[in-house]
Amino acid sequence: MRVQLDCVSRGAGQINEDYAAVSLAGDIGALVVLDGVGGSGVGCRHGVPWFTARLGGELLRLACTRVDTPLADCLGEAIARTARAHATSCDLTQVQTPQSTVVAARWHGDRLDHLVLSDSMLLIRGRDGVVRPVLDKPLDRLEPGPSKRLSALREVEEAHPVGSAERAAAAEEYARVSRGLRNSPGGFFTAAADPDVAAKALTGTLPRSEVCSLAALTDGAGNWVETFGLGTWTQCVELLEREGPQGLICRVRTAERADAGRDSFPRDKSVDDAAVVFVEFDGAP
């Protein structure tokens, strides 16, 4: 088995809010990739990196030591333990309390379990060569009202000239509305302080022998496909096979720099933290 990992901040001196970890012990392996958000000093004195280290570490440990417990239950327990660790010192009811997307996978014998919550990605390449992306698209799960509102705001943003006050105001309003939909009824869900959110994750199980490779990505890396349209998910995995996580992230950085003003490719951040864990099982091509 070969494992490659890259997890880099959006720029020199910027704190990386992505998290990536792998555990290999005996015949049990697991990976966890998180994209931290929130935590702008409201309510929590610890910050996002503390939160992702705590949540990711708990999830990885539970996944590997309780191999018969479903990953969603491991995630629920990891969220609860993380919340308990700062419930007395922090106000976890704030919408902006530290939180994250979650991708996790665990393999044990011929069983491979996976979980995706919110907009980080898992790409599973089968022995048949087909790449199956596991994507939890939060905006696609929105109820029609909020979904239409966000689409309309994005259209307003794109209709105004680059650099105009109207375009900036629409982008700001989009971000504000989007934040308000996080972990609220009719909105979308991330791992924050409520363990029940774990039940909303996409989960699945496959025979390990049918899987050739796994790639877990935060959207900072997945933007190669989703924002910049530089290839398909299959081509993304082919790029990882050739150049590894560093090659993928390097190409995203080039695309980000070429559109630093976010004129051609509207996105929340000009440059984003990026994390990739790429696992190739024995017998991979």
Residues that bind Zn ion (CB under 5 A): 44, 46, 86, 90
**C-alpha to C-alpha distances, 232 to 108, 123, 129, 243, nearest whole angstrom:** 30, 11, 14, 16
Q: Which is nearer to Zn ion, 29 or 39 (CB)?
A: 39
Shortest distance, CB of residue 161 to Zn ion, whole angstroms? 42
Q: Which is nearer to Zn ion, 45 or 269 (CB)?
A: 45
Q: Which is nearer to Zn ion, 190 or 223 (CB)?
A: 190
Strands (E), 83-176: 99-108, 111-117, 121-126, 131-135
Q: Which is nearer to Zn ion, 43 or 146 (CB)?
A: 43
Shortest distance, CB of residue 44 to Zn ion, whole angstroms? 3
CA distance 8 to 78: 24
CA distance 285 to 282: 9
Shortest distance, CB of residue 280 to Zn ion, whole angstroms? 37
In this structure, the chain runs to a length of 285
CA distance 210 to 214: 12
CA distance 38 to 94: 10
- The DSSP H or E segment spanning 234 is helix 233-258
User: Closest Cα partner for 235 from 143, 125, 82?
Assistant: 125
Q: Which is nearer to Zn ion, 82 or 223 (CB)?
A: 82
